[in-house]
Chains A and B, each alone.
Chain A
């Protein structure tokens, strides 16, 4: 081809048409193609004439344009990666300009698979919404600021006489308090005493037993409360004994009893038969420090109700003290000042041998939070985290499935020249769109759940170490936006990773297998992809772990509820009272006689089968705790290792009346009710702890409490079943029951009454009231609890935990069921053709059904095993919250596993049934 000939116009047209080809092709081959065209054209013109040449030119030009177009569409994806810097900047520009298109594309994709998109949204919304609701409530409960202004300036001064090996009591006597207040006036701007009592509300309205606080003036001011109406107490009202006394109503009581009438101030109320004049109403939300008192009275009210003795003896410790630091006084300065004052007040002659004075100024937050709270919070947090993980695993597995299904489309798009960055961005936008929708749905769900949480809010929550109750107003539970955003952010991140990973990893060269694979290839189940199986297994594992945690706590609750609570709550009534002052004026004998007379009269009431005297009702907290120093002929405990032991008095009928089983030895005799002997009955826990591997009966021990003096040893005469006195969270400690006779001289007691069938123990209260009035008119029952109420009170915290964890576990079950349901449903859809073929080949419905169900079994087994291991390792963290439930309780472990397996298989089977309905012809004719 020397002296190149040109084809003129046809050549120009051909070159122009070939411009459709992508640039790299155009540059490489356009000129050569044009030459080939010209050669063919000229040859035809020569050999066949101009008409044939023109026809050839027409066809070739059209073909050049078409081929150029095809080349453009099938440009391999790997090509653009080796782009020149110029090309890269052009690509960057492209990334910005195509945003709108991608957004539209993402929304179209979402609409194209509405069920799938909805599943992702629902799961994310459930996971994030539930998490947000519960964690919001938790943050309100724990992280919310205390309901007292400038709470960091609040302190609890404590003056404790510490006896060796005994838990010190941080209670004050009146005269110590007065001295301390005088000496520290420059350190504390307000120093106030407070104690919780309960009274019979007589008038106006219906009579009932209500809690109230006995406080000194300055209490409200120390806590920063503001009256809603009227005023708080004046300094001169502190010790006033002249009638009528004054009272400040709680906002709640004001509404319940006076309908919120402002004229209530100045009106009179009657409690425990004493008239009091209303001088003020506390602001809404102010609930004092001990729970939810109905009203406050000045400490002087105690003169009328409890007698002068409360105020006279320096050794009559009966109230707590709270103070607000004076401006510019640091807590260290307050401590430095309080110490010498304390030493001056508690003179050495008051201390017995071995006793030690401890003066402390405890910051508010140390009382406000306690270890049980931390354990519960940790548990709920862990539960929330597991739930979020399940939701994320679920969404990830759905996204992986979608990617698998769309791998063909992805390959085509890559092959058609869509840049990888472009595809990634499309996925990114899609994930963000899903997250945004799920976020809104989750927010709505959380807002709705918060209502439920408010309704389920327990009466009391998170009791502080000093008996102070943290009252958290359920109406204060609001959505916590940071929690919500954190959960959503995490879920979005996971969604992004799983949406982007497969696209990012896809290589350009895998086009043909992906295309050829088509939907017609056989034997590929959705669950067979390793990633999805892992995610499914993970869901099972987390679900099992959550179910087990919830199960263990539920078992604790059940055991606390059931007769295994250590006592029989049915038909039981516990009435606590204190003969305040008056019988004390008489001889000790008369005090004992008064207690016993009440017991006698109670026992004679119709429907009562037995009545007994003791100190503390079960689950209501210890009255007295000390420590065991040694077991005679056994262990001598070092001072810092002495086991704590609760001490209770018990008359001869107490164990029978409470329904406590005697496991060994004997109970107390009637003679021991009268005569103080150094004998005791141990709880089973105590017997095992102190005398491991041997019988405790007949053995002796010494503890920080003795009636015979000189730290005389106690002889064990029997062992009874465990009864929980503290909260389940505190767990069992050793308990010792000493004869009622050893308790002589105490004005305090709890009367236990058991009724026969058909008699509601609560109905007995008025009759007992009359019985008491016959002995000593005006002695109030400051705590009246039926067995059922005792149980409820004792398990309030556990109930909350069980509720929250069951909620989580239920959701986890639902989510993992959804997960496997989606996987199997998808497998049925993906393998329609295979199923159709199998059916066509004679497979029966049950066989194809089984084939589909089997997909979920491997993840179930592996995940279930992992979940059991996870739970076995993690359940130790629960041990402090459990009562009579092992951390590896086999029943709970097995139950949780079986429950999950059943739900899982059901969730697999439901969509698998669709495989039966696959019509082979239809399945084989669709793509």
Chain B
């Protein structure tokens, strides 16, 4: 499947992909990372978060990282797949173009 076929991503899916961009993380790590993204409190239930993680894994955008930083057997670590990276890039491109339009229509300050 082409990266474009996964678009648009839900905001949460994108947040997860971005959260995994720099390092593999476990579920709670993803939650902490996402909470750091925005001053607006993370509102989805953790259940929703895990469902999203599961769906991304099924779609092949993320995968379980078998090399764990620590031998803590209970924690599952996830990392981005190449497809996931492409989808995230595509989604961000899509968002960027929408943001261009937003800026043009005055939804955003012209700076940036």
In the complex, whether A840 has a CB less than 8 A from a CB of chain B is: yes
B59 to chain A, nearest CB (A): 20
A833 to B31 Cα, complex, angstroms: 12
Q: Which of B28, B45, B74 sits near A518, CB closer than 8 Å?
A: B45
In the complex, whether B105 has a CB less than 8 A from a CB of chain A is: no
Q: Which of A518, A840, A922 sits near B47, CB closer than 8 Å?
A: A518
Please indicate the chain B residues that have their CB under 8 angstroms from the CB of A95 in the complex: none
Please indicate the chain B residues that have their CB under 8 angstroms from the CB of A330 in the complex: none
In the complex, whether A925 has a CB less than 8 A from a CB of chain B is: yes
Flag if B47 contacts A926 (CB, 8 Å). yes
Please indicate the chain A residues that have their CB under 8 angstroms from the CB of B44 in the complex: 516, 518, 520
In the complex, whether B8 has a CB less than 8 A from a CB of chain A is: no
Flag if B27 contacts A519 (CB, 8 Å). no
A840 to B26 Cα, complex, angstroms: 14
Chain B residue with Cβ nearest A518? B45
In the complex, whether B75 has a CB less than 8 A from a CB of chain A is: yes
Q: Which of A520, A921, A927 sits near B75, CB closer than 8 Å?
A: A921
The 8 A CB mask of A901-927 against B (1 = contact, 0 = none) is 000000000000000000111101111
A927 to chain B, nearest CB (A): 3
Please indicate the chain B residues that have their CB under 8 angstroms from the CB of A833 in the complex: 46
Flag if A925 contacts B43 (CB, 8 Å). no
A921 to B28 Cα, complex, angstroms: 7
Q: Which of B77-93 contact A (CB under 8 A)?
A: none
Q: Which of A516, A919, A924 sits near B46, CB closer than 8 Å?
A: A924
Please indicate the chain A residues that have their CB under 8 angstroms from the CB of B43 in the complex: 516
Please indicate the chain A residues that have their CB under 8 angstroms from the CB of B27 in the complex: 921, 924-925
The 8 A CB mask of B42-56 against A (1 = contact, 0 = none) is 011111101000000
Please indicate the chain B residues that have their CB under 8 angstroms from the CB of A919 in the complex: 74
A920 to B75 Cα, complex, angstroms: 11
A146 to chain B, nearest CB (A): 68
Chain B residue with Cβ nearest A923? B46
A920 to B27 Cα, complex, angstroms: 11
Q: Which of A685-704 contact B (CB under 8 A)?
A: none
Flag if B28 contacts A927 (CB, 8 Å). no
A518 to chain B, nearest CB (A): 3
Flag if B45 contacts A924 (CB, 8 Å). no
A925 to B45 Cα, complex, angstroms: 10
Please indicate the chain A residues that have their CB under 8 angstroms from the CB of B45 in the complex: 518-520, 927
**Given A840-B28, A920-B28, A921-B28; A927-B74 close (CB under 8 Å):** no
A519 to B43 Cα, complex, angstroms: 11
A919 to B75 Cα, complex, angstroms: 12
Q: Which of A283-315 contact B (CB under 8 A)?
A: none
A118 to B12 Cα, complex, angstroms: 40
A666 to chain B, nearest CB (A): 87
Q: Which of A869-927 contact B (CB under 8 A)?
A: 919-922, 924-927
Q: Which of B38-76 contact A (CB under 8 A)?
A: 43-48, 50, 74-75
The 8 A CB mask of B20-37 against A (1 = contact, 0 = none) is 000000111001000000
The 8 A CB mask of A827-850 against B (1 = contact, 0 = none) is 000000100000010000000000
Chain A residue with Cβ nearest B45? A518
Q: Interface residues of B, CB < 8 Å — how many?
A: 13
Please indicate the chain B residues that have their CB under 8 angstroms from the CB of A519 in the complex: 45, 47
Flag if B31 contacts A924 (CB, 8 Å). yes
Flag if A520 contacts B46 (CB, 8 Å). yes
Please indicate the chain B residues that have their CB under 8 angstroms from the CB of A516 in the complex: 43-44
A265 to chain B, nearest CB (A): 85
Please indicate the chain A residues that have their CB under 8 angstroms from the CB of B26 in the complex: 921
Q: Which of A518, A520, A919, A922 has the most CB of B within 10 A?
A: A520
Please indicate the chain B residues that have their CB under 8 angstroms from the CB of A920 in the complex: 28
**Given A921-B74, A921-B75; A520-B47 close (CB under 8 Å):** yes
A920 to B47 Cα, complex, angstroms: 14
Q: Which of A23-76 contact B (CB under 8 A)?
A: none
A843 to chain B, nearest CB (A): 15
A840 to B31 Cα, complex, angstroms: 13
A41 to B44 Cα, complex, angstroms: 38
A840 to B44 Cα, complex, angstroms: 19
B74 to chain A, nearest CB (A): 6
A839 to chain B, nearest CB (A): 11
A518 to B48 Cα, complex, angstroms: 9
Please indicate the chain B residues that have their CB under 8 angstroms from the CB of A840 in the complex: 28
Please indicate the chain A residues that have their CB under 8 angstroms from the CB of B48 in the complex: 518, 927
The 8 A CB mask of A519-533 against B (1 = contact, 0 = none) is 110000000000000
A922 to B45 Cα, complex, angstroms: 14
Please indicate the chain A residues that have their CB under 8 angstroms from the CB of B28 in the complex: 840, 920-921, 924-925
Q: Which of A502-548 contact B (CB under 8 A)?
A: 516, 518-520
B45 to chain A, nearest CB (A): 3
A52 to B60 Cα, complex, angstroms: 30
A926 to B47 Cα, complex, angstroms: 6
B52 to chain A, nearest CB (A): 12
A516 to B75 Cα, complex, angstroms: 27
A407 to chain B, nearest CB (A): 14
A336 to chain B, nearest CB (A): 87
A924 to B46 Cα, complex, angstroms: 7
A516 to B12 Cα, complex, angstroms: 14
Q: Which of A211-256 contact B (CB under 8 A)?
A: none
A921 to B26 Cα, complex, angstroms: 10
B57 to chain A, nearest CB (A): 14
A727 to B48 Cα, complex, angstroms: 71
Q: Which of B27, B28, B31, B46 has the most CB of A within 10 A?
A: B46
Q: Which of B27, B28, B44, B50 has the most CB of A within 10 A?
A: B28
Flag if B31 contacts A927 (CB, 8 Å). no
A926 to B31 Cα, complex, angstroms: 13
Chain B residue with Cβ nearest A922? B74
Chain A residue with Cβ nearest B51? A927
Please indicate the chain B residues that have their CB under 8 angstroms from the CB of A520 in the complex: 44-47
Please indicate the chain B residues that have their CB under 8 angstroms from the CB of A921 in the complex: 26-28, 74-75
Please indicate the chain A residues that have their CB under 8 angstroms from the CB of B46 in the complex: 520, 833, 924-927
A520 to B46 Cα, complex, angstroms: 6
Please indicate the chain B residues that have their CB under 8 angstroms from the CB of A518 in the complex: 44-45, 47-48
Chain B residue with Cβ nearest A515? B45
A25 to B29 Cα, complex, angstroms: 44
Please indicate the chain B residues that have their CB under 8 angstroms from the CB of A924 in the complex: 27-28, 31, 46
A833 to B45 Cα, complex, angstroms: 10
A516 to B43 Cα, complex, angstroms: 7
A320 to chain B, nearest CB (A): 80
Chain A residue with Cβ nearest B46? A520
B64 to chain A, nearest CB (A): 14
Chain A residue with Cβ nearest B26? A921
A157 to B50 Cα, complex, angstroms: 89
B23 to chain A, nearest CB (A): 18
Chain B residue with Cβ nearest A408? B45
Chain B residue with Cβ nearest A919? B74
The 8 A CB mask of A162-176 against B (1 = contact, 0 = none) is 000000000000000
A409 to chain B, nearest CB (A): 14
A328 to B92 Cα, complex, angstroms: 106
Chain B residue with Cβ nearest A516? B43
Chain A residue with Cβ nearest B28? A924
Please indicate the chain B residues that have their CB under 8 angstroms from the CB of A925 in the complex: 27-28, 46, 50
A922 to B48 Cα, complex, angstroms: 15
A740 to chain B, nearest CB (A): 90
Chain B residue with Cβ nearest A840? B28
A833 to B44 Cα, complex, angstroms: 13
A926 to B43 Cα, complex, angstroms: 16
Please indicate the chain A residues that have their CB under 8 angstroms from the CB of B74 in the complex: 919, 921-922
Please indicate the chain A residues that have their CB under 8 angstroms from the CB of B31 in the complex: 924
Other CB < 8 Å A-B pairs besides A920-B28, A922-B74, 15 of them? A516-B43, A518-B44, A518-B47, A519-B45, A519-B47, A520-B44, A520-B45, A520-B46, A919-B74, A921-B26, A924-B27, A925-B27, A925-B50, A927-B46, A927-B50
5 A-B contacts (beta carbon < 8 Å): A520-B45, A921-B28, A926-B46, A927-B45, A927-B46
Top 4 closest pairs, chain A to chain B, by CB: A927-B47, A518-B45, A520-B45, A520-B46
